[in-house]
Every structure is written in structure tokens, then in C-alpha cells.
Amino acid sequence: MKSILSLILISASIAFFVFFTKPKLSELSQNRIEVEKLNVAQENAKKLKSRIDALLKVKNSITEVDLQKITNMIPNSVENVKLIIDFDNMLQSLVSEKGTGSIYRNTNPQSQGPVSIENPRITQSDTNINGDFDTSQLGVADFAFTVALTYSDFIDFLKRIESSTRIFDVESISFSTPTLAPGVNPNNIVYNFNIVLKTYWLKSK
């Protein structure tokens, strides 16, 4: 009788394990995996929020003046007309500050106006940038023009381009020498400089 009762209890235990305990263990194991995934996701969310807060802090620390400089550095379009006007203004301020305007009027008596860039041409160009950068979002253009300046003024003009807020890469420079009249001051010799610059802008997403 005891043997039969023992067999019944053992059978009942096995059945309980197979039909109840084992599925529950499997369910608990699956739940533990899901909990671990949720913990990882929660930790990643905390890191992301911390990163966002840090970036927002940096953004909020940027002044309006600095934001405008960033916009000027790589604008949202080529800004053809503004680009030409900005360069023309560089020339006007250069000649005015150095007091060399009379040199150019004497060189070309028919021109009563200030020195200006000639034959400005802005054309689309290829993106060629090294490094980890999404070039599909970057527009590139070649800005070519001619300007007549003395050597000294031309060097100062290049320095102004170099210190400009907007990014420019000098692609090429060529020049031609005029026929010199006797007794001309070498410092007043005006050369025709042909310049090609590369400039950039951010495309709209």
C-alpha cells in the first residue's frame, strides 16, 4: 500500500513539474531576458538624455553673434549676389584704408568709379573633402573673378579673404604684367590678377 502511495506521489510530482513548474520556469527565464533588455534600454536612454542635455547646454551658451558667424561660415545657399558685393566691399575698404585709390584712377583715367572685381563667375563644383563628413549635404562652388591691383594691395586683399568669416579655398591665381612706361614707380604697377576660389554652403535636408 505504501509503495503504491509513493508511486502515486512521485507520479503526481513529475506531472506537476512537467505541466506546471517547467512552463513557469521557462516563462520566468523569458521574463528575466526581457527585464535585462529593458534595463539596457533604460541605461541607454539615460545616456542619451545626458548627451542631449550636454548638447543643449553647449547650444544655449552660443551667443547670437557667434550663431551669425557660423551662418556666415557655411551659409544655406551660395548667395551669389551677396558674395560679389562682399568681395567688392573688401576692395573698397582696402583702397580707402591704404589711400591708394588715386593709383587706379591714374592707371585707368576713363574709370571714374572705385576699384571693383571684373567678370565674376560662380559655377557649381565637385565636393572633394577628406574625413568623416556627409558630402551629400555640402554644396560647393567655384568663384572666379579678375581684379587689377598693385602687388602690395593684392597681398593685403588675400589676407582679407583669409580672415573672412566665410570659408574659402584658393584654387588658382594667375596674373599679367602691363607694359611699363618709363619712370613709373614700381610700387604703383597695377597687375591683372585672375583668381579662382572654392566656397561652400549647406544644402537643405
Architecture of the domain defined by 75-202: 2-Layer Sandwich (3.30)
H or E element at residue 106: helix 101-107
What is the grid cell recorded at 169?
579655398
pLDDT of 155 over the 90 cut:
yes
In this structure, what DSSP letter does residue 178 have? P
Domain positions in the chain: 1-61, 75-202
pLDDT of 130 over the 90 cut:
no
Closest by alpha carbon to 114, among 125, 103, 124, 127? 103
pTM over 0.85: no
pLDDT tens-digit readout, 37-60: 778 888 888 888 888 888 888 888
Written as one letter, the residue type at 83 is L
